[in-house]
Chain A
């Protein structure tokens, strides 16, 4: 549900608007419109607009999913959500993921991309190697890392023992569980961002760089004043993906920690699942969904308007 909610409404709005303002020029375009608009519109309405509307409607009920919702409680579900400590923890964790994506993942991806965009022996192999984690399914990644982190048999444990220390159970402590999740997130997604940057670097206009060289710019000057500014559109896109991805993060968390211990590693979506769906509190879950939706839409629209208006 959240995946669908995340970016598409904003894009939908953006792509519908031009049609509305274009005015009545009913020539060949009208036929095209009649033929091609309905399928998209029907799908969009059926699977995006209606569910969003339904979620908003359900969020006003105390409802266990049986029959029709009847017990109207107004905005109480929203109050319940805001009173839940786990909600704020989940929100904080989403913030943490975004912060780590921006502060660690993107610089790392950019650095690697700058190194690997050039052609040299082994560059392709390295690119593939770094990209591989991204190909892996999230659930599989989660399971693999739950073994890696295991305090008795895991890789981490043997490294700790090699130094003669008592191995920690990273996933079992409220202090370290989120850290452990963050490490996996960076490991899994940096390759994707690296590929974005490599693609952008390869399509850069080489003459600009040459010109800078001829004008006597050093390597680092070229990088700072020519290459990176030219990469801004890609960086903005990469940031957009990182933030939307963080808001959607779920399938990596479930096999690792299920959001625990004591809700310390819940994301918004795993919080929705744990507290809404698995408890059959459809109204409460819908309220979380609506809050998440509002956050996503606000972000998507603001970001598009402020940072991506050139594209």
Chain B
């Protein structure tokens, strides 16, 4: 009994200790960023915030991308959950809102939220309520290697339509140049082709109709045609040898090594290829060209429509108000300008794009500003269960093991199973 009494005292002492420590607030911030240069800026921002807000501690936590996606539902339902988490918006966000694991921060960001690009904020808003703040935008398009394009006498500026692209691939092949590199093992780099074709063929109307299950849903004409056009490209064998075994970082490095003429990639690859090239130098800016995803003859989508990411941060249920406060501080003009100046992001705070000092980043920012329909990545906007099927079937079309019709049907079947 005496022992128990001592234990009880000790426990009480511990509890007291905890409650004293809890007078300070800790904001736990979970991220997935792997670029040390960017994390360094974030760290500095967090330390600066702590300095100006005594009693608040910002604790950064890290998880690898895939691990993060897999663990998130468990993390969100644990008592020790982080307060600020990374998000690609879309269907995953929708599920989280419906599950009630996020804080509604509408009132706390009132007024402040006017400083954000409306389309970016809309991605984190549902039924007029705000659940998070966007931080960055990106666009998917073709990066090309000027030297290799010139070697085959292909003018990237002349690639405007899908048929132009097919012709360019043929010319490049004839000149002995590998036309396109892609990280097929990760599948999602292949899903860009199929989804961007769908954006071009059907536009926003087709995607919205498919979500409502109209016109045959994702088994409908638009999506079958996306597969067919993608197959036209695949049949030319445009990719590097063994592309289904390449993971995305390998493929980006391959492009940085100057071994392929083009790659369909997220705009951030423009800078990332240097870090992933074998010599860590990669292609210098004067050697890289860019063209938007070609249009499709008779397509209903506007040429200015874009495919890309909208990323941001969410506040989890029952977080301290300091979490939102810090997030507002993080997504402020100052910090965004700083991140833009280092070419890490296309900012979402109005006016922060003044920080962009690089012609390429400015071009992407201009493209996104012109875009009336920015389609979020399918594998995010459709949620994990359907999105992964999109990735699977596009990889199967690329590997020749599935017909475009069956691919579209498989996505529709997954959509039905999941909803």
A residues at B contact (CB < 8 Å): 62, 64-67, 80, 151-152, 168-174, 177, 257-258, 260-263, 274, 277-281
Interface centre among A67, A278, A279 (most CB of B within 10 A): A279
Size bracket, chain B contacts: 20 to 34
A64 interface neighbour in B95, B243, B392, Cβ under 8 Å? B95
User: A278 and B66: CB pair below 8 A?
Assistant: yes
Task: Please give me the 8 A-B residue pairs with the lowest Cβ-Cβ distance, nearest first.
Answer: A169-B242, A172-B245, A66-B99, A65-B73, A172-B242, A261-B244, A171-B245, A172-B244
A177 to B399, CA, bound (A): 13
User: B245 and A261: CB pair below 8 A?
Assistant: yes
Asked if A280 meets B185 with Cβ closer than 8 Å, knowing A172-B242, A172-B244, A173-B244, the reply is: no
User: B184 and A172: CB pair below 8 A?
Assistant: yes
Q: Separation in Å of the B417 CB from the closest CB of chain A?
A: 6
Q: Is B35 an interface residue (CB 8 A)?
A: no
B401 interface neighbour in A67, A262, A281, Cβ under 8 Å? A262
User: A66 and B95: CB pair below 8 A?
Assistant: yes
A177 to B185, CA, bound (A): 12
Main secondary structure, interface of A, reads loop
The contact sample of 30 A-B pairs, CB cut-off 8 A, is A64-B383, A67-B99, A80-B417, A151-B245, A152-B241, A152-B242, A168-B242, A169-B242, A169-B244, A171-B245, A173-B244, A173-B245, A174-B399, A174-B401, A260-B244, A260-B395, A261-B244, A261-B395, A262-B395, A263-B392, A278-B69, A278-B70, A278-B384, A278-B388, A279-B385, A279-B388, A280-B73, A280-B95, A280-B383, A281-B385
B residues at A contact (CB < 8 Å): 66, 69-70, 73-74, 76-77, 95-96, 98-101, 184-185, 187, 241-246, 383-385, 388, 392, 395-396, 399, 401-402, 417-418
User: B76 and A260: CB pair below 8 A?
Assistant: no
Q: Separation in Å of the A62 CB from the closest CB of chain B?
A: 8
User: What are the residues of chain B within 8 A of A262 when measuring CB–CB?
Assistant: 244, 395-396, 399, 401-402
User: B95 and A257: CB pair below 8 A?
Assistant: no
Main secondary structure, interface of B, reads helix
User: B66 and A66: CB pair below 8 A?
Assistant: no
User: What are the residues of chain B within 8 A of A174 when measuring CB–CB?
Assistant: 399, 401
User: A258 and B185: CB pair below 8 A?
Assistant: yes
User: A261 and B388: CB pair below 8 A?
Assistant: no
Q: Separation in Å of the B212 CB from the closest CB of chain A?
A: 20
A152 to B251, CA, bound (A): 12
User: What are the residues of chain A within 8 A of B388 when measuring CB–CB?
Assistant: 274, 278-279
User: What are the residues of chain B within 8 A of A62 when measuring CB–CB?
Assistant: 417-418
User: A261 and B185: CB pair below 8 A?
Assistant: yes
User: A151 and B417: CB pair below 8 A?
Assistant: no
User: What are the residues of chain A within 8 A of B244 when measuring CB–CB?
Assistant: 169, 172-173, 260-262
User: What are the residues of chain B within 8 A of A277 when measuring CB–CB?
Assistant: 70
Minimum CB distance partner of B92 in chain A = A280
Asked if A279 meets B95 with Cβ closer than 8 Å, knowing A66-B76, A173-B244, A260-B395, the reply is: no
User: What are the residues of chain B within 8 A of A263 when measuring CB–CB?
Assistant: 392
A171 to B384, CA, bound (A): 25
User: What are the residues of chain B within 8 A of A169 when measuring CB–CB?
Assistant: 241-242, 244-245
A277 to B246, CA, bound (A): 23
A297 to B73, CA, bound (A): 30
